[in-house]
Each structure stands twice: as structure tokens, then as C-alpha cells.
């Protein structure tokens, strides 16, 4: 995937996350929540996970793509993780001023955990997958930036 497409996908996904987390209700929020919260909650049965568990999973799953996309864009896992954590902190701070939203430290922790999961997947893709460059492949001469 070209860098331009990766930037477009990242911007669109961040916009969807912002719409879902910073608006009270509306079409984007309903669709995004149906995919992440409703989809996970639908899998919860009376003998299975509770809706609270579904919300727990939804917070993690919503930020995994952000971690993945950021690491694919930056090729630096610490920068990608830091940026993703910053995004979730900003969302929760902004939610403090929105009467219909509830800011929660647990959301920051769960979203950060999801971002970490995405970063780990991205690092694995860069190192071992077809998305990787020679610089990131294990055992290649180019893995050392000092080598000619």
C-alpha cells in the first residue's frame, strides 16, 4: 500500500473514531458503535461475556487499528505508540467538556492497550511480512543503519 493511501486510510479512521467518541449521537456514531460495541455485544450471550465485557473489548479493538496504522506510517514503534496514547488522552480530555459523554481513565488504559496490540502487529508485519522493507527484515545486511 502506498504511503498516500495509508495516510488517507489513517485520516478516515481517525475521523470515524472522533465522530464515534466525541459526538452524542448521529449516523457516524451509530455505525461505528454498531461495528465495535454492538458487534461485540451481540456476541455476548446470557452464558457468555457481559455487555461490560463487550465495552471492554470494544475499547481495545477500536484503537488497535490506530496503533497499526501509526506504526506503518512512521516505522517507529515508540513514536506510533506515543501518538496513539496521545490521541486517546486528547479524546478523553475533550469529552470532559461534552455533557453527553463521560471521560474515563479506564478508557485511556484500554485504548492504549489496543494501540499497543496494533503496534505489535505492525512491527511484526514490518519485520516479517510483505509490508516490511529490507531495512526491517530480520538478518538482512540493511538492518544495521550504519552498514553501507
The answer, yes or no, to whether residue 144 has pLDDT greater than 50, is no
In a domain, 144, yes or no: no
Distance CA 24, CA 80 (A): 28
pLDDT per residue as tens digits for the range 84-97: 999 999 999 999 99
In a domain, 90, yes or no: yes
Give the residue-averaged pLDDT of 29-44: 57
In a domain, 77, yes or no: yes
In a domain, 122, yes or no: yes
User: How many domains, in total, are found in the chain?
Assistant: 1
Neighbour-count burial for 31-59, b at 16+ CB within 10 Å, e otherwise: ebbeebbeebbeebeeeeeeeeebbbbbb
In a domain, 121, yes or no: yes
In a domain, 10, yes or no: yes
Give the residue-averaged pLDDT of 104-116: 94
The answer, yes or no, to whether residue 19 has pLDDT greater than 90, is no
In a domain, 140, yes or no: no
Mean pLDDT of the chain: 79
In a domain, 50, yes or no: yes
Percent of all residues in the chain with a pLDDT value above 90, rounded to a whole number = 47
pLDDT at 140: 42
What is the three-class DSSP state of 105? Answer: helix
For residue 113, what are the domain limits?
3-133
Amino acid at each position: 500500500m502506498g504511503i498516500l493511501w495509508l495516510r488517507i486510510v489513517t485520516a478516515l479512521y481517525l475521523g470515524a473514531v472522533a465522530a464515534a467518541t466525541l459526538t452524542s449521537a448521529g449516523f457516524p456514531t451509530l455505525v461505528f458503535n454498531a461495528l465495535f460495541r454492538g458487534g461485540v455485544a451481540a456476541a455476548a450471550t446470557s452464558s457468555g461475556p457481559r455487555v461490560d465485557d463487550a465495552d471492554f473489548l470494544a475499547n481495545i479493538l477500536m484503537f488497535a487499528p490506530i496503533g497499526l496504522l501509526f506504526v506503518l506510517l512512521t516505522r517507529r514503534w515508540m513514536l506510533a505508540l506515543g501518538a496513539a496514547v496521545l490521541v486517546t488522552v486528547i479524546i478523553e480530555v475533550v469529552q470532559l467538556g461534552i455533557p453527553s459523554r463521560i471521560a474515563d481513565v479506564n478508557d485511556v488504559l484500554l485504548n492504549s492497550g489496543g494501540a499497543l496490540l496494533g503496534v505489535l502487529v505492525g512491527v511484526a508485519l514490518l519485520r516479517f511480512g510483505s509490508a516490511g522493507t529490507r531495512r526491517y527484515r530480520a538478518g538482512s545486511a540493511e538492518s544495521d543503519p550504519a552498514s553501507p
